[in-house]
Amino acid sequence: MTKIYKLTNQFKNYDWGSSRMIPEFLNLKNDDNSPFAEMWMGTHSGAPSVVSKDGRLIGLRELTGGLPYLFKILAVDKPLSIQVHPDKEQAVNGFEAEEKAAVPLNDPSRNYKDPNPKHEMICALSEFKLMAGFKEIKEILNSFKELSSLSEDLASLLAPMISALEQKQPGGFLKEQFNFSPSQKEIISSEINNINPSGTEKDITQEQWNLMKTFASLYKNDPAVLSPLYLNILVLQPAQAVYLPARSLHAYLSGFGLELMNSSDNVLRGGLTPKNIDIKELLKIVNMNPFMPDVMTAPINAPYFSYPLPIDDFSLSVIRGNGNEISYNVHSPAIGIVSEGELTAEGQVYKKGESFFIPKSEGQFVFKGFFTLYTACAGFTLKS
């Protein structure tokens, strides 16, 4: 019989988190209204999970030897920074360079915390809004031209970016964004806040205006307030997910969901943050090619669905119990979290918000109850 281990997990209380979403999901008290941003499930040294074995608490790594993926609950109350993550070669080279330079792991300027790539996916548990992937150059160009036409000050400031776009140099366009002086950055935010769209604009939608004005209010000295003009805006509904390959520029804006990625904490930031921004390194690893993520939707009534991914580093599945017993094989060490209802497995009851670890096994195990369960694996998914 496969033993299932209940997880005890750690939280990240970043200021963009929510005081409500994670506490309500886990039925936790939050009397001081702390911002709960993430709960990590896995073996990453940044916040490893713990299990009980033989009457003592041990790190999950002692059971697994280390998982290649990291599973998270994510609660976004304020927009996260615009960011990008490295592929394998970039992560190895970047990590080795910073190790050789003796940059401490806790140094705010450190970009590479480990030598691992970071592909990731986000699966919505509530409506979830994000920006991800560059739009087509022509579309970006038309939006910037329209914005320039609404303000003389913006027209002069945005001219180098427009020129780079006209020459079909996306890297040059992004580099120009980072060349603004502090006073020019203030002008950009001020002008965006002052412009009142007439509604007749063809190339900037109301949603883009709303986001730019929100960013301009939150980050007055950040040229990335322009990002809604060059990044795709997506809104996911519950059980919908998108996959973001390494090197894809993106930002999570609002909502509650599950994030699954390689076991890595490598982040290069590109704006909308007071944290360190390494422009040179970001431009070195970001993929500037147009990219619109595919939205994957789990069928509402399907008892089992595995989100199709182009990699085998990790996989995410959703299982829905209707009261009958469901038997599964585990071909790869898995982490599960109950998002609705409760399930019984091996005599233990797991309620909404509770998570557990299932070691690799050649045998079957049984779930029973009315529930929705999300499972993360490496390589292969759970198979019925």
Q: d(Cα 357, Cα 51) in Å, to the nearest integer?
A: 9
Q: Are 122 and 242 in contact (CB under 8 A)?
A: yes
Tell me the residue type at 286.
V
Q: d(Cα 333, Cα 175) in Å, to the nearest integer?
A: 43
Tell me the residue type at 177.
Q
Helix residue ranges, H only, 108-245: 137-149, 152-166, 170-177, 182-194, 206-218
Say which of 110, 247, 269, 320 is annotated catalytic.
Answer: 269
Structure tokens, 41: 């499930």
Residue 320 annotated among the catalytic residues of the structure: no
Q: Rounded to whole angstroms, what are the CA distances from 323 to 173, 209, 222, 326, 372?
A: 56, 47, 52, 9, 11
Q: Are 381 and 306 in contact (CB under 8 A)?
A: yes
Q: d(Cα 47, Cα 161) in Å, to the nearest integer?
A: 41
Which residues form the catalytic set? 269
